[in-house]
Amino acid sequence: MKLGTQVVTHDGRSLALGRLMSLVEEMALLRQEGRQLLLVSSGAVALGMKQLGLEERPRSLGLRQACAAVGQGHLVALYTSAFAQFGITAAQVLLTESDLGDRDRALCVRTTLMRLLELRAVPVLNENDSVSIRELVEHRRTQGTATGAPAFGDNDGLSARVAVGVDADLLVLLTDVDGLYTADPRTDPDAQRIDVLDAETPRLAGVSAGGTGGMTSKLEAARLASRGGVSVVIASGATPNVLRRLLSDEPIGTCVPPAERRAVRRQRIALAPHAGALVANDGALSALEGGRASLLPIGVLDVEGDFREGDVVEIRDGSGRVRGRGLVNYDARACRALLGRHSEDIEDVLGWRGYDALVTRDNLVLGS
């Protein structure tokens, strides 16, 4: 879930408390039903302005950073209190571009977010605006890279990269308009809302009434998420019961289907060069091939090679036959230290604990 500035606030100045609390209630009820949710929320600068007594949005970059520093604490406190009314824990996660641009740090971010989801918490994410300036540069619009991915300069780009990083099923971008249009409906009476959009469609006219990103950045974010196998919906945060209706397949907003299915990602794991191998026992292999099991430390007999966390490794049986491949959650040294141990022993052995499994099922391809 990504809530834009025009959803969280009234014209970027005061908090839209009623609308925000309604969305929190929807998210909380979905979380209680077992759905895993991550929330990317704008609004820190607006809350900081209110706390500092500023009537107009600051033009000075330094002052906007100061507003973000003040407002971020109030924003997460608001979400913490609101979710707590439903017995749900909110967790603040502040990121900079380098956190997701560096492989090791990105894996740490993924580990943190997945652990929070396992603990039934709702991570509340935002760019760390007090130290990262890219989102705050006035009138900045996301610029595509050579591959078409949006720069990490707004919360649209952040939400897309996080969605891909955690293998989300759906990214919902809530804004002040009800989707993408063929033209700006405020000036063109013939503009039509697009119900389903191919992610590779050329740029369309934007229809944003404000906020940092605008529709251009939302389209670029949708492209990035779609290419990573994530479905995207762009919809209005003012639509009653918007989340429930979206999840019931009601045709509201603009849907951008995934251009790259999970199978393509799994194919990449299967074909990528491997950096080592884990030798699994018969019981572990039977569990892997028979259902949704992950490869736990207790099921591993030997470690081959010198690989890093996040590398592709082969899964072999005792005879040396390759039975699969996967992305490993620990480096070779840690895997050797964990051989034959129970998952609950990981922290005692390593001094820290990331995943319970050496290779999780969603990063595992069998039959290689």
CB 288 within 8 A of CB 327: no
Q: What is the pLDDT of residue 150?
A: 41
Q: What is the pLDDT of residue 339?
A: 96
Model confidence pLDDT, tens digit, residues 247-259: 998 989 999 998 7
CATH code, domain with 348: 2.30.130.10
Are residues 249 and 358 part of one domain? no
Question: What pTM, to 2 d.p., does this model score?
Answer: 0.74
CATH code, domain with 235: 3.40.1160.10
- The pair phi, psi for residue 36, each rounded to 5°, is -95, 130
Are residues 195 and 88 part of one domain? yes
Exposed, middle or buried, 300 (CB in 10 Å: 0-12/13-18/19+)? buried
β-bridge mates for residue 359, sequence order: 295
Are residues 75 and 37 part of one domain? yes
Are residues 299 and 244 part of one domain? no
Are residues 289 and 220 part of one domain? no
Domain carrying residue 32 = 2-259
Are residues 321 and 194 part of one domain? no
Q: What is the pLDDT of residue 11?
A: 76
Q: What is the pLDDT of residue 146?
A: 33
Are residues 292 and 199 part of one domain? no
Are residues 280 and 241 part of one domain? no
Average pLDDT, the chain: 84
The residue with tokens 């393509």 is: 264
Please say which residue of 259, 293, 317 terminates a domain.
259
For residue 13, what are its two tokens?
Answer: 């100045």
Q: How far apart are CA 299 and CA 283, in angstroms?
A: 7
User: Coil, strand or helix: which one is 261?
Assistant: coil
| % pLDDT > 90, the chain | 48
Are residues 171 and 298 part of one domain? no
Q: What is the pLDDT of residue 205?
A: 43
Are residues 274 and 232 part of one domain? no
β-bridge mates for residue 142, sequence order: none
For residue 363, what are its two tokens?
Answer: 């990063």
In this prediction, residues 159-176 reach a mean pLDDT of 92
**How many angstroms separate the Cα of 16 from the Cα of each of 43, 236, 357?**
10, 14, 42
Amino acid at 107: L
In this prediction, residues 149-159 reach a mean pLDDT of 68
Which of 129-138, 289-298, 313-322 shows the lowest per-residue confidence on average (mean pLDDT)? Answer: 129-138
The residue with tokens 């990214």 is: 171
Are residues 206 and 112 part of one domain? yes
Q: How far apart are CA 2 and CA 172, in angstroms?
A: 6
Please say which residue of 204, 232, 259 terminates a domain.
259
**Number of domains composing the chain:** 2
pLDDT band of residue 293 (cuts 50, 70, 90) is confident
CB 239 within 8 A of CB 245: yes
Model confidence pLDDT, tens digit, residues 306-364: 999 889 999 999 999 999 999 999 999 999 999 999 999 999 999 988 788 999 887 88
Q: How far apart are CA 354 and CA 240, in angstroms?
A: 39
Are residues 320 and 204 part of one domain? no
pLDDT of residue 261 exceeding 70, the answer is no
Model confidence pLDDT, tens digit, residues 35-62: 999 999 988 888 898 889 888 888 888 8
Model confidence pLDDT, tens digit, residues 75-95: 999 999 999 999 999 999 998
Please say which residue of 259, 289, 305 terminates a domain.
259
